Amino acid sequence: MTALTRGSGRPNQWLRNLNAKIASIPMILTAVVIFLGGTIWTVVYSFTNSKLLPRLSFVGLDQYERLWAAPRWIISIQNLALYGFFSLVFSLVIGFVLAALMDQKIRFENTFRTIMLYPFALSFIVTGLVWQWLLNPQFGIQSIVRSLGWESFSFDPLYDADIVIYGILIAALWQGTGLVMCLMLAGLRGIDEDIWKAARVDGIPMWKTYVLIIIPMMRGVFITTLVIIASGIVKVYDLVVAQTSGGPGIASEVPAKYVYDYMFQAQNLGQGFAASTMMLITVAIIIVPWAYLEFGGGRKRG
């Protein structure tokens, strides 16, 4: 009788699926203690003058002022903005186009899908090393094309400070576009066949069917894919280290590498914590709107 709410005769909401709630306690404790606790710890110590070891010697906003006055940090933010914008645009466009082509019931679809998804199975370090070799002017793409007779051909983005970030972008697109294609293909396969038939009967051109009907219906797929791509952009590190190690000079620095270098090489934990906190804010700017659209205002309230 204690499990019944007063006057309703229904089980108490808190006692529904009790076994599942008990089983989830370890996961909840892990999330609260490790993730939330670690986040709070990082933010708190970003206001300290910690060097080799963390210490509660508060210096206010000094670490943040030093951070935003550092040319290396500014360059890393500029690189992240360029890399992020083009990565989002090209990943979504190329991934959707490939998915649309794959959705035409082509022959050997499984083979093509496996080939396109295969790069995603490689680690970022392996991908970076492969593309470092391919973009090397001595024995990569430039050398091969010149050996075919085009002596004036030049393609060495990793050795040009002005375009080095685009060389890293090429490797990232090669690795990540296959995953985007699979996500988009799953969304396209979820579209009711009757919608396609109705569009053909009404004489709507194929491109208009995609732009005006199909893409709006795939809103959830696009939002999820956008979050996956954006979270990968913010934490990009492996590709940069494998291809350029931040060079030439500091031309290809990114925030994640800045954090690692200051925390584990320069032995300046306070500065590394401050940079980590700025990355956390960036991730929050991405995740919070997505969570609101998916679980909050984006749903009809009953």
**pLDDT tens digit string along 255-267?**
999 999 999 888 8
Where in the chain are all domains bearing CATH 1.10.3720.10? 64-298
**Domain 64-298 in CATH: superfamily?**
MetI-like (1.10.3720.10)
Contact 270, 48 (CB under 8 A): yes
Taking all residues of the chain, what is their mean pLDDT, rounded to a whole number?
88
Answer yes or no: is pLDDT of 2 > 90.
no
pTM here is: 0.84
Contacts of 137 (CB under 8 A, 6+ apart): 143, 154, 155, 156, 159
Contact 222, 92 (CB under 8 A): yes
Angstrom distance (rounded) from CA 302 to CA 284: 28
Sign of the CA dihedral running 180, 189, 192, 95: positive
pLDDT computed for residue 95 by the predictor? 94
**pLDDT tens digit string along 253-296?**
999 999 999 998 888 999 999 999 999 898 888 778 777 777 66
Residue with tokens 């210096």: 59
**pLDDT tens digit string along 66-106?**
999 999 999 999 999 999 999 999 999 999 999 999 988 78
